[in-house]
Amino acid sequence: MSSVQNPVVSMLFQICMLYILSGKGAYSLSCTLCIIEGSIECVGESVSCPQGLICSTSSTEITRFDGLIYYNVRKYCGDPGRCDRMAHSTYTNYKSLEVITCCDTENCTGPVPTWPKYNTEPNGLTCPTCAYPGFDCLAKDTIQCIGKEEKCFTQTEYHQGLWQGNVQTMRGCSTESHCKFGNWSMRRQDFSIESRITCSFPNSGNSQSFSFFLIGLCLVLIHIYLEQK
């Protein structure tokens, strides 16, 4: 057998290796891209997802304190590690429950979400709360956190259409998962939506009471000290 390689075969081999290593030969899934408020279903265009992402659906059930319930839905190319997850938040007069479902076939739709029951008992934590049509809101009130809500969040959503945009900022209590999933963006030819979230630790009602006790005790001791002089 000749030890001299055919130059044409060698060149084709190098081209194939470059093609594979560049990732262009990898399979890319097509998924529906859409977002709608006030409905449990949305229809949109098919887009080619980046390699490794699959078809994801974020379904959100929003309950107003007077009992009114409505839904928001977002379909997008998502991280498989975020499938079958739940996130919960409470702000001003609303409770929000998000369920993420996924599927991995062409232009598929994830399973219809089941809305799990969650603990709505106050957990002793409080957070500043507000909602404002702008990039920030000044919280004049606090809200009691419930269940597994152990973070205070500030979330801003910016919607930009062909002719105008609008901004909404919310503050309140949330689960850790809401903090993880709250940063996202979606872009199409006619609009773009971007959500940004920051989270911090809430105030504990018990720790606040203890702080007030210490302050009161210090004031009493100062008063006694001054009386003795």
* Domain ranges within the chain, ordered by starting residue: 28-204
With a CB cutoff of 8 Å and minimum separation 6, the contacts of 34 are 42, 43, 44, 45, 73, 74, 75
CA–chain centroid gap for 115, Å, is 17
Question: What CA–CA distance (Å, rounded) separates 209 from 206?
Answer: 5
Burial class of 137 by CB neighbour count within 10 A (0 to 12, 13 to 18, 19+): buried
| Type of residue found at 125 | L
Q: In the predicted model, what is the mean pLDDT of the chain?
A: 82
Q: What is the mean pLDDT of residues 9-38?
A: 66
- Strand bridging mode 30-37 / 122-132: unpaired
Give the torsion sign (CA, 98, 117, 63, 95): negative
pLDDT of residue 190: 76
More confident: 162 or 112 = 112
Q: Categorize the per-residue pLDDT at 25 as very low, low, confident or very high, splitting at 50, 70 and 90.
A: very low
Report field, pTM of the whole predicted structure over 0.95: no
Q: What is the mean pLDDT of residues 174-178?
A: 96
Q: 3-class DSSP state for residue 224?
A: helix
Q: Categorize the per-residue pLDDT at 225 as very low, low, confident or very high, splitting at 50, 70 and 90.
A: low
pLDDT of residue 4: 46
With a CB cutoff of 8 Å and minimum separation 6, the contacts of 172 are 89, 90, 91, 92, 127, 128, 129, 143, 152, 153
